[in-house]
Amino acid sequence: MRILVTGANGQLGNEMQMLAKENPQHLYYFTDVQELDICNKEAVWSYISEKQIDVIVNCAAYTAVDKAEDDRELAHKLNSVAPGILARAAQANNAAMIQVSTDYVFDGTAHTPYTEECKPCPDSIYGSTKLEGEQEVMDHCEKAVVIRTAWLYSIYGNNFVKTMIRLGKERDGLGVVFDQIGTPTYANDLARAIYTIINKGIVRGIYHFSNEGVCSWYDFTVAIHRLAGITSCKVRPLHTAEYPAKANRPAYSVLDKTKIKTTFGIEIPHWEESLERCIGKMKNDE
């Protein structure tokens, strides 16, 4: 198959590139804004038609959650309009599309894991624009898969794991919120799941994917420091109210992954196991 991966320079896009070597049966087109502006309808339609793309994996997004509160226009353009352009182009060329979405489509007031049947109720501009993007893709592409994920990190790009390691080495103390509960996701695991879906065949629908298990950002940081061998930094728990941010975060955003596991036979590692793998790779790259 001929696969287009947009947002190829991001965390997930880079993992998709690395895992392409394990999936040599496909022909790949990895693009970022320099190669293909996904907000440009004419460019997208001609690219997908000329390259005869079979599957689009949209890893591109506006992910600066706080900045989105002020930069609504760009967030809407990248998270809502662009997926709609890609979905319509996919449909016109009989291609499939995989759209990556977020736990922020929920407001976080639940107390049990969110299933795909739960009604979305975003509480931020980022969440609202990502939900609009989901709807655009599902409305305009018959062979569409939406994957909601959460707390994404990787050896690539800027992310929470890298920030906590850097701050842990620089400081003797660190405050991290303990009253926001969710599950970290290693982008490498998500990329593997995407390849499984492509290789087994698209089954239209919305799916949830994160690593297994549950933790707070505080618990996550403690595990990051332990696995990175950082012992000189005391991590203390903070309430969300003590760490003001422009955008609201879901207090509870654990995703139920039963559907993706049963539909595609995907086995998902526990978040600590995946974190250990990721930090191990970081150490090897030093």
Catalytic machinery residues: 126
Give the residue carrying structure tokens 């062979």.
143
The closest of 13, 155, 182, 156 to 98, measured between CA atoms, is 13
Amino acid at 97: M
Whole-number Å distance between alpha carbons of 59 and 41: 17
**Are 158 and 124 in contact, with CB atoms under 8 Å apart?**
no
Question: How many CB atoms within 10 Å of residue 204?
Answer: 12
Q: How many CB atoms within 10 Å of residue 42?
A: 9
- Give the HSE-up count for residue 111: Cα atoms under 13 Å, Cβ half-sphere: 0
> Which 8-state DSSP code applies to residue 245?
-
- In 3D space, the residue among 2, 50, 6 whose CA is nearest the CA of residue 28 turns out to be 2
